[in-house]
Amino acid sequence: MNIILSGCCGRMGRQVYEACSALGLTVRFGVDLKAEPYAAFPVYTSFSSQKAEQGDVVVDFSLPSCLEGLLDFCIPSGTPLVIATTGYSPADEEKIRKASSHIAVFRSANMSLGIHVLKLLAKHAAGLLDGFDIEIVEKHHNQKLDAPSGTALMLYDSVKKADSVLITDRTPFHRKRDEREIGISSVRGGTVPGEHEVGYYGRGEKILISHSAQDRSIFAVGALRAALFLDGVRDCPGLYSMDDMIQL
Ligand SMILES: NC(=O)c1ccc[n+]([C@@H]2O[C@H](COP(=O)([O-])OP(=O)(O)OC[C@H]3O[C@@H](n4cnc5c(N)ncnc54)[C@H](O)[C@@H]3O)[C@@H](O)[C@H]2O)c1
């Protein structure tokens, strides 16, 4: 399978290239503003500047600002797209949703299998622990741009109720915690690839469920698994997730 690597010169782009080499997949070309060729595939500064090259699936670990160029390439060429980038605005989310009626799109804010299992456990525990306060803590390296992390927001979605209120900053308030609140706290420092903890705090007891990424390669391998999955459904446009891949 020929992979097109968007954001190829970044931390994750390089990990995906290494994972491709290990799995015997070819990177056909890369796109990155930095345009620093570091392997035997051409790197272009944008999709519009590449020379009519084609590949089987685009894998994207870049920035939300790349979305427009990415979709302008994938939709007309019918190329399936794995989106791993986080930090999109609601308007971007809508563009992705619309694109998925034309092409197969796989999206997950976290490509690791472990986080997916954490999400399932967190949802189940939230259903059992009625009346417990839920707080999510995420930790990432000091170069991360968005906060809270896309994964923390995904975990929030899995534990929230209809009347839950997301709190990411308590400083504007001077009051007790409302029982409908679910807080997300973001820690940034050093080289942490990603840590997430969902805590359930009751009267006299607490339960903590956590996941710690020890190596970025888990995200790269997960994204390539998603690319293989998308290649299999390339003729069925839609918005696919980790749930779809695992069920298959
Ligand atoms: N879904 C997951 O499992 C997962 C895991 C890790 C990181 N991420 C997300 O992936 C994204 C990238 O993370 P990273 O740590 O590799 O970041 P990074 O900053 O190291 O890499 C991003 C790359 O995108 C390039 N880029 C930026 N704007 C561009 C543009 N307009 N056109 C072309 N290239 C452009 C940059 O030059 C850079 O090389 C982030 O949103 C991060 O949150 C997702």
The residue whose CA has the least distance to atom 43 of ligand 1 is 86
**Sign of the Cα pseudo-torsion (232, 87, 186, 193, in order):** positive
Mean of pLDDT over the chain: 96
Same domain, 7 and 105: yes
* 9 CB near ligand 1 (under 6 Å): yes
What separation in Å is there between the alpha carbon of 25 and the centre of ligand 1? Answer: 21
> What per-residue confidence (pLDDT) applies to 15?
97
CATH code: domain of residue 39: 3.40.50.720
Cα angle: 205, vertex 211, 212; to 5 degrees: 125
Is 124 catalytic? The answer is no
* 86 CB near ligand 1 (under 6 Å): yes
> What per-residue confidence (pLDDT) applies to 110?
93
Take residue 67 and report the two structure tokens written for it.
């979305």
DSSP 177: P
* Active-site choice (116, 139, 140, 211): 140
Q: Which of 69-73, 138-142, 242-246 has the lowest mean pLDDT?
A: 242-246
Same domain, 103 and 135: no
pLDDT band at 2 (very low <50, low <70, confident <90, very high): very high
Report the number of distinct structural domains present in the chain: 2
Same domain, 107 and 221: yes
> What per-residue confidence (pLDDT) applies to 190?
98
pTM of the model as a whole: 0.90
pLDDT band at 246 (very low <50, low <70, confident <90, very high): confident
> What per-residue confidence (pLDDT) applies to 37?
87
For 131, the domain range is 113-212
Same domain, 20 and 89: yes
> What per-residue confidence (pLDDT) applies to 248?
64
What separation in Å is there between the alpha carbon of 86 and the centre of ligand 1? Answer: 8
> What per-residue confidence (pLDDT) applies to 227?
97
pLDDT digits (tens, 9 = 90+) for 120-137: 999 999 999 999 999 999
Edge-to-edge strand ranges of the sheet holding 133-140: 165-167, 181-188, 133-140, 195-201, 206-212
* 32 CB near ligand 1 (under 6 Å): yes
The identity of residue 34, as a single letter, is K
pLDDT digits (tens, 9 = 90+) for 23-41: 999 999 999 999 888 999 9
What separation in Å is there between the alpha carbon of 33 and the centre of ligand 1? Answer: 11
Cα gap 113→117, rounded to integer Å:
6
Mean pLDDT within 182-207: 98
> What per-residue confidence (pLDDT) applies to 159?
98
Is 211 catalytic? The answer is no
CB-based contact 39:18 (threshold 8 Å): no
What separation in Å is there between the alpha carbon of 204 and the centre of ligand 1? Answer: 42
CATH code: domain of residue 132: 3.30.360.10
Q: Which residues pair with residue 81 across a beta bridge? A: 58, 105
Same domain, 13 and 81: yes
> What per-residue confidence (pLDDT) applies to 52?
81
DSSP assignment of 46-85 equals SGGGS-S---SEEEE-S-GGGHHHHHHHHHHHT--EEE--
* 100 CB near ligand 1 (under 6 Å): no
pLDDT tops 70 at residue 47: yes
* Active-site choice (95, 141, 144, 160): 144
Take residue 165 and report the two structure tokens written for it.
């209120």
pLDDT tops 80 at residue 247: no
Cα gap 4→66, rounded to integer Å:
14
Cα gap 71→96, rounded to integer Å:
8
> Looking up tokens 């427009």, which residue turns up?
68
Same domain, 167 and 205: yes
